[in-house]
C-alpha cells in the first residue's frame, strides 16, 4: 500500500507544480504561499508538503516559528518542467495513462492481454492506434520517450563503438531524442528517423528543429512499408511491444534492407537469464502485459530472435542503468 501512496504523492506534487513554484522562488516558501501559487487548500498543501519532506523531495527551514520549504537538488533536477533532464513528462504519463491501465492488472493476468479497451474505451487491435488515440495522448507519449532518452540515451548509444556505422536508421524514433544522442556521440554519422506520418508531424512541430541537420525523417509503417537502406538500424524500446512472431517479422524485414556488414542495435531493459530480476524489469514486463502485446526478455532471448531473422555475432552490454544494448550483425 505504501508504494501506491508514495507514487500518488509524487504524481500530485508534480501535477500541481509544487516543485516548479519552489524553483522559481528566490527563497523558501511557506505552505500558505505555495497553496496560493498552485491554487490548492492550505490544509491539503500542508499535508502534501509534509509527505514530500518525508520522501526527501523537499527541505524544511524554520523561520520565527514558521515552517518554510525548498526543493532538494534531486527535485529541482528531475521533477521541474524546465530541467533539461526532467522526468516530469514521464511522471505525468505514468499518472494519467499507465496507472489507468494498471487498475485492470488482474484482468490482464487472467486474460493474457492488454487493457486499453477497459481503461480508455478504445480498441487495442491496432496497438499504436490505441497508444496514439489522440494528438494530446501522442504528444504525452513522445514527451515520455524524450525524457527517457535525454537521461539514458548516451549510455545505450555508446555501449558499443558505433562509429563504423555512418548511416543510421532509428526505427520508431519518435521524438528524435535518441537520434540526437547518436549525432552527438558520433559526429560523422547521419540518422534517419522512421516513424508513422502523424508521429513525424508531431516531432517536427514539437521536438526537432532545422538546426538538427544530420537528422532526417522517413514516414511509414515499419511492418508494411519499404525500409530505407542503412548501415545500422536502431530499435529502442520497440521489440518489447510485440510477440516473438512479430519481432521476427520486423527483424527479417530489417535484415533484408540492411547493408552487408551492417547491423541492428536493440535497446531494451534486459532480464537476468534465469528471470530472477532485476525487479524493475520484472515490473516493466507486467506493464507490457497491461499496455502492449509484448514482454521484457533476456539477452539470450533477443539473440534467438536476431538469429531467427538471419543476424549473427550477437553481443550484449549491460549499462548498469535501466536500459541495455544488444548488437547483431549481418555478415559481409
| pLDDT tens per residue across span 212-224 | 789 999 999 999 9
SS3 244: helix
Give the separation between CA 114 and CA 23, rounded to whole angstroms.
Answer: 39
> With 70 as the cut, is the pLDDT of residue 210 above it?
no
pLDDT band at 1 (very low <50, low <70, confident <90, very high): low
| pLDDT confidence of residue 132 | 76
pLDDT band at 240 (very low <50, low <70, confident <90, very high): very high
| Element containing residue 250 per DSSP (H, E) | helix 244-257
Give the separation between CA 53 and CA 47, rounded to whole angstroms.
Answer: 10
Which cell numbers in the block locate residue 82?
Answer: 524546465
Give the separation between CA 301 and CA 304, rounded to whole angstroms.
Answer: 5
- What residues act catalytically? 240
> With 90 as the cut, is the pLDDT of residue 139 above it?
no
pLDDT band at 253 (very low <50, low <70, confident <90, very high): very high
> With 80 as the cut, is the pLDDT of residue 126 above it?
no
| pLDDT confidence of residue 165 | 97
Closest by CA to 181, choosing from 265, 278, 282, 78, is 265
The larger pLDDT score, comparing residue 170 to residue 96, is at 170
- 118 touches 104 (CB < 8 A): yes
Give the separation between CA 60 and CA 107, rounded to whole angstroms.
Answer: 43
| pLDDT confidence of residue 89 | 87
Overall average pLDDT of the 178-201 stretch: 95
Q: Going by C-beta distance under 8 Å and a sequence separation of 6 or more, which residues neighbour residue 197?
A: 219, 220
Report pTM. 0.89
**How is residue 27 annotated by DSSP?**
S
pLDDT band at 209 (very low <50, low <70, confident <90, very high): confident
**How is residue 298 annotated by DSSP?**
B
Percent of the chain with pLDDT over 70: 98
> With 80 as the cut, is the pLDDT of residue 128 above it?
no
For 207, half-sphere exposure in the C-beta direction (CA atoms, 13 angstrom radius) is 29
Which cell numbers in the block locate residue 290?
Answer: 497491461
Amino acid at each position: 500500500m505504501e508504494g501506491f501512496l508514495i507514487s500518488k504523492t509524487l504524481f500530485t506534487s508534480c501535477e500541481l507544480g509544487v516543485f516548479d513554484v519552489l524553483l522559481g522562488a528566490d527563497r523558501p516558501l511557506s505552505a500558505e504561499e505555495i497553496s496560493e501559487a498552485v491554487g490548492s487548500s492550505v490544509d491539503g498543501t500542508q499535508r502534501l508538503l509534509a509527505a514530500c519532506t518525508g520522501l526527501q523531495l523537499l527541505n524544511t527551514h524554520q523561520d520565527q516559528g514558521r515552517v518554510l520549504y525548498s526543493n532538494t537538488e534531486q527535485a529541482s533536477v528531475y521533477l521541474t518542467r524546465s530541467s533539461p533532464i526532467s522526468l516530469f513528462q514521464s511522471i505525468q504519463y505514468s499518472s494519467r495513462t499507465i496507472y489507468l491501465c494498471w487498475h485492470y492488472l488482474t484482468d490482464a493476468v487472467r486474460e493474457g492481454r492488454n487493457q486499453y479497451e477497459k481503461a480508455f474505451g478504445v480498441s487495442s487491435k491496432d496497438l499504436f492506434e490505441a497508444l496514439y488515440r489522440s494528438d494530446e495522448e501522442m504528444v504525452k507519449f513522445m514527451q515520455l520517450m524524450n525524457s527517457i532518452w535525454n537521461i539514458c540515451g548516451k549510455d545505450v548509444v555508446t555501449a558499443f563503438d558505433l562509429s563504423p556505422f555512418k548511416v543510421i536508421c532509428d526505427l520508431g524514433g519518435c521524438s528524435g531524442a535518441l537520434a540526437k544522442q547518436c549525432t552527438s556521440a558520433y559526429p560523422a554519422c547521419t540518422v534517419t528517423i522512421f516513424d508513422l506520418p502523424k508521429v513525424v508531424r508531431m516531432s517536427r512541430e514539437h521536438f526537432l528543429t532545422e538546426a538538427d541537420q544530420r537528422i532526417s525523417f522517413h514516414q511509414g509503417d515499419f511492418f508494411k512499408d519499404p525500409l530505407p537502406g542503412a548501415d545500422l538500424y536502431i530499435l529502442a524500446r520497440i521489440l518489447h511491444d510485440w510477440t516473438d512472431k512479430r519481432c521476427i517479422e520486423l527483424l527479417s524485414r530489417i535484415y533484408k534492407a540492411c547493408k552487408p556488414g551492417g547491423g541492428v542495435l536493440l535497446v531494451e531493459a534486459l532480464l537476468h537469464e534465469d528471470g530472477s530480476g532485476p525487479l524493475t524489469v520484472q515490473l516493466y514486463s507486467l506493464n507490457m502485459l497491461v499496455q502492449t502485446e509484448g514482454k521484457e526478455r533476456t539477452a539470450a532471448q533477443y539473440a534467438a530472435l536476431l538469429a531467427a531473422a538471419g543476424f549473427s555475432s550477437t553481443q550484449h552490454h549491460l549499462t548498469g542503468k535501466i536500459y541495455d544494448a544488444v548488437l547483431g550483425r549481418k555478415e559481409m
